[in-house]
Amino acid sequence: MLNNSIIRVLGLILGLLFLFSININSQINKPEYDYSFETVKHLDIFYSLYKELNLYYVDPIVPGEIIKTGIDAMLKSLDPYTVYIPETKIEEVRFMTTGQYGGIGALIQKRDEYTMISQPYENSPAQKSGLQAGDIILEIDSKSIKGLDTEEVSELLRGEPNTKVNIKIMPVGSKETKTIEIIREEIKLKSVPFYGMVEDGIGYINLNDFTNTAAKEVKDAYLELKKNNMLNTIILDLRGNPGGLLIEAVKICNLFIPKGETVVSTRGKVAQWDKEYKTTAEPLDTQIKVIVVVNNMSASASEIVAGCMQDLDRGVIVGQRTFGKGLVQTTRDISYNTILKVTTAKYYIPSGRCIQALDYSHRNPDGSVGHVPDSLIKEFRTKNGRKVYDGGGVNPDIVIEPEYFSNITSSLIQKNLPFDYAVNFKLKNPEIASPENFKITDEIYNDFVEWLQDKDFDYQTETEIKLNELIQKSKDEKYFDLAENEINILKQKFAHDKNKDLQLFKDEISEILAQEIIIKYYYQNGLIKYSLKNDPEIIKAVEIAKNDTEYKKILSVE
């Protein structure tokens, strides 16, 4: 039966929420609607429903689990960013804002029933203890991890710094097991994993996220580049950067734009979330050319930086349209050491546009969410008068069409075959050339092709997919029998040949293979160094940086 303590707690919650609803109602500009009554009414229904379930449902009910399920479903109906964080997940909030956690410092991935080390971080406890990419984790502190997902394994690996964890592994290339004792450390992932010069006068800074040290790391990288070089351009790479702390985006913009400029403003339902964020410090450099590189996974704070630089005509944006997340979240401490991360406002960049792509407030009948329709997209103007638009992400000044993998390359990646080959390659080759000089030779590529011969991977070409659709349609419309012989001939002609495709798509497969090999020796820092050589967006950014006339033309009104 529902015990008295639960009844008292639920009663207290109802009372507090009644007062809360009155407070919110006074701040919402809709006096004609009685939010107070509706809130109490439906909370009472929820309470009554839970009581009935607890009394009469055939199996025992675990209160925490069923309530969490209800909370998650409720929040899911709003937007993906409003989430309930239980006490057990508080450490994840800290990691998102600081990039810090206590652990061994390694990326892991599921491999069959066990978990595998996919990459130890450079200079981490994992790397210093000898763990390598490809090692299979069997036990953690004598607990078998068979069948556990990666999140559960991560929980076991993490812990307070200076505590011990014993990991039983099957090392890559061996059938013998061994146990390694690792002392956990405070792991701090850098927001700027790499910076350097790509050509004379052109500096490059890669920014992974917007933790609470992001602006300082960008500033330090700039000053280091400036100290040793005649710097005239900074390329700021925000590709794949999911965002983070809004204030860090403001500080980063402040490095290159004058004091007192509005970077972003936020507007929400409650007046306290209406804020304007201006630059508050003297900038480092208002004259240096700035080129921001983005893609469709550059989101939130990344879009604030890119959008601000575009709207103030302070930098050229290169790449693909950004993600389109124009919603601001605030964390609210609630009962029993839990947290609600709630969307409290939308943000607007200097031109006045909001770059939110999906309209969560108006769902389709089936519950799906649509993009802002073209008819509602509005035109805005940058500081120099250039036309820009809202309705979904920041559209670059220079658009670089994304490159897509062939079906065979996608299949190889999905099966982790380049990864597995790179692991074995490192066992046989203790050293390789530097990231700047390494390349996949014909000898290495042919060895990879030979290694693949007994590996299980398959795929369909686009031609085969379309032909299968034609066959199905012809069967539906009763025409298949009339053309069966001709269709079978086409199937034979269009059937893919793995070995032929391995040669046809050699260049893109070699690039993936090189990246997997490089990261095994030189970690993320080396991977970025290598990738810059053949990166279409960076090549274009360098081209623009070397042409003052073109750079100025992009930022002016024709």
Place of tokens 């860090």: 248
Torsion of CA 82, 84, 88, 92, to 10 degrees: 10
Which pLDDT score is estimated for 270? 83
Q: How far apart are CA 322 and CA 296, in angstroms?
A: 4
Q: Token digits for 226? A: 């400036």
- For 492-533, the three-class secondary structure string (H helix, E strand, C coil) is HHHCCCHHHHHHHCHHHHHHHHHHHHHHHHHHHHHHHHHHHH
Q: Does 333 qualify as catalytic in the annotation?
A: no
C-alpha to C-alpha distance for 235 and 204, rounded to whole angstroms: 5
The fourth-level CATH superfamily of domain 100-188 is PDZ domain (2.30.42.10)
Question: CB 524: neighbour CB atoms within 10 A?
Answer: 19
Cα atoms found within 13 Å of the Cα of residue 193, Cβ hemisphere only: 17
Return d(Cα 204, Cα 194) in angstroms, integer: 8
Stretch (H or E) spanning 157: helix 150-157
Q: How confident is the model at residue 269, as a pLDDT?
A: 84
Residue 5: the pLDDT is: 47
Do the domains spanning 100-188 and 194-402 agree at the CATH topology level? no
The active-site residue out of 79, 135, 209, 311 is: 311
Dihedral sign (CA 422, 423, 428, 433): positive
Distance, in Å, from the CA atom of 241 to the CA atom of 107, rounded to the nearest integer, reads: 18
Coil, strand, or helix at residue 234? Answer: strand
CA atoms within 13 A on the CB side of 550: 11
Rounded Cα–Cα distance for residues 263 and 304 (Å): 8
C-beta of residue 92 within 8 angstroms of C-beta of residue 77: no
Whole-angstrom Cα distance, residue 73 to residue 152? 22
Return d(Cα 324, Cα 326) in angstroms, integer: 6
Query: Residue written as tokens 């675990």?
Result: 62
CA 164 to CA 184: how far, in whole Å? 6
Give, in order, the Cα–Cα distances in Å from 38 to each of 34, 94, 167, 344, 505: 7, 36, 54, 21, 61
Instruction: Kindly state the tokens that stand for 72.
Output: 């998650």
Torsion angle in degrees (nearest 10) through CA of 132, 136, 140, 141: -80
pLDDT of residue 496: 66
The answer to whether 161 and 100 have CB atoms below 8 angstroms apart is no
Helix (H) or strand (E) holding 339: strand 338-348
3-state SS class at 286: coil
Secondary structure element (H or E) that encloses residue 137, with its range? strand 136-140
Of residues 325, 426, 529, 540, which has the active-site annotation? 325
68 a catalytic residue = no
- Give the pLDDT score at 494: 67
Residue with tokens 């009372």: 15
Q: Are strands 398-399 and 316-319 parallel, antiparallel or unpaired?
A: parallel
User: 509: buried, middle or exposed (CB in 10 Å: 19+, 13-18, 0-12)?
Assistant: buried
Domain boundary assignment for the chain: 4-61, 100-188, 194-402, 407-459+498-543, 462-494
Domain 194-402 is found in CATH 3.40.50.80: no
Active-site annotation holds for 135: no
Kindly report, residue by residue over 468-519, the tens digit of the pLDDT. Answer: 788 888 888 887 788 778 777 776 766 667 888 899 999 999 999 999 999 9
DSSP 8-state assignment for residue 107:
E
Question: How many angstroms separate the Cα of 385 from the Cα of each of 80, 250, 256, 307, 319?
Answer: 35, 22, 20, 15, 22
CA atoms within 13 A on the CB side of 285: 15
Measured N-to-C along each axis, helices 214-228 and 246-254 cross at an angle, to the nearest 10 degrees, of 20
Query: From the candidates 300, 302, 351, 510, which is the catalytic residue?
Result: 300
Cα–Cα dist 145/151, whole Å: 11
Residues of the chain falling short of pLDDT 70: 1-35, 366-367, 491, 493-496
Beta bridge partners of 197: 203
